[in-house]
Structure 1
Amino acid sequence: MLSAYDQDFHAWATEQAGLVRSGRLTQLDQENVAEELEGLARRDRREIASRLGVLLMHLLKWVYQPKARSNSWKAMIVEQRQSIFKLVEESPSLNSYPEQVLDKEYALARDRAAAETGLSVETFPRWRPFSIEQVLDSEYLPDEPGGERLF
């Protein structure tokens, strides 16, 4: 027989919230509540990593496709930075997480940038050319390779 958790998640979650609010903690479905809370923590880390990857890809595109630059690319860079900032602001314990996953997300962003631009993956530096400070700096847009500062 299926548990309430498996039959109707919404009803189960509402019931669990009611139990917590009324102080009836011994009646909680402790195992599933713990798993859901851990899932919430993973969700925030996944979202930061995902947004960081999109941000890195757009920074690479900004550098390596200067003629294709657009306000939508700039807006995407701004949006990703703001979203990462909000997530970290809401959960300060995640403050160092963007730096922890930066190299992994850069490797993925490099592959995505190649796929999206049609350029060879070898066009993009194997090792990330941006520091975490640059990546998250709301004023930073990278230089062109071998060129002048654009902003």
Structure 2
Amino acid sequence: MSAVKATARPSEAGTAYEDDFYTWTQEQGARLRAGDFAGLDLDNLAEEIESLGRTEFNSLVSAWRVILLHMLKWEHQPELRTRSWAISIHAHRNNAADVLKDNPGLKSRLAEGLERAYRGARLEAANETGLPLKTFPTACPYTREEMLARPFPADPDDTTD
């Protein structure tokens, strides 16, 4: 449930958004299908739809954050490199590609997404490696293309995914 303006609805309009989100969603969906546009909770409905778009962007950023985290660990702890890091990079590349394929409108936000993902990955890398935060550059040291295509020894050879 997104943070939205609380607008209590009269009982004849159905369940109030802030009282029971699940029931509200079911009622709103039924009203849309029935063409009962006058009975819709437009402010909250619009916010929820916009929230779905933010969720897709956050999914992309999350996948990229994991990729960048493992790339930073790969660079800064070569003695601890594991096959699981490379496989995680590959899996999250696939996830990110799927999000972008399903949501081509996100292409206008790729630079912002990379910046957000790196900011999180940098902090996590410092935490997970025990290295000082200053070890990791403040700006992302990888291009988006490198993040998405740089080979890692444990990457599967299969390119059909």
**If the length of structure 1 is used for normalisation, what is the TM-score?**
0.82
Check conservation: 1:57, 1:112, Cα contact below 8 A: yes
Amino acid at match of 2:27: E
Instruction: Find the counterpart in structure 2 of residue 128 from structure 1.
Output: 140
How many Å apart are 1:73 and its aligned residue? 0.9
1:95 partner SS: helix
How many Å apart are 1:30 and its aligned residue? 0.7
Instruction: Find the counterpart in structure 1 of residue 69 from structure 2.
Output: 57
Check conservation: 1:48, 1:98, Cα contact below 8 A: no
Deviant stretches of 4+, over 6 Å: none
Question: Is structure 2 residue 62 aligned with structure 1 residue 67?
Answer: no
Q: Matched residues in 1 for 2:107 and 2:151: separation?
A: 19
1:7 partner SS: coil
> Structure 2: any 5+ residue segments left out of the alignment?
1-7, 10-14, 154-161
Instruction: Find the counterpart in structure 2 of residue 41 from structure 1.
Output: 53
How many Å apart are 1:120 and its aligned residue? 2.0
How many Å apart are 1:124 and its aligned residue? 2.4
Q: Matched residues in 2 for 1:69 and 1:37: separation?
A: 42
Instruction: Find the counterpart in structure 1 of residue 42 from structure 2.
Output: 30
Question: Is structure 2 residue 135 aligned with structure 1 residue 108?
Answer: no
By relative contact order (CA 8 Å, sep 6+), the higher-ranking structure is 1
Select the residue among 16, 19, 23 that pairs with 1:11.
Answer: 23
Q: Matched residues in 2 for 1:12 and 1:92: separation?
A: 30
How many Å apart are 1:17 and its aligned residue? 0.8
Check conservation: 1:53, 1:105, Cα contact below 8 A: yes
Q: Matched residues in 1 for 2:97 and 2:50: separation?
A: 21
Amino acid at match of 1:140: P
Instruction: Find the counterpart in structure 2 of residue 140 from structure 1.
Output: 151
Q: Matched residues in 1 for 2:54 and 2:81: separation?
A: 34
2:105 partner SS: helix
Amino acid at match of 2:54: R
1:111 partner SS: helix
How many Å apart are 1:43 and its aligned residue? 1.1
Identical-pair percentage: 36
Amino acid at match of 1:48: L
With over 3 angstroms needed to count, the CA separation of the structure-2 counterparts of 1:126 and 1:29, relative to structure 1, is closer
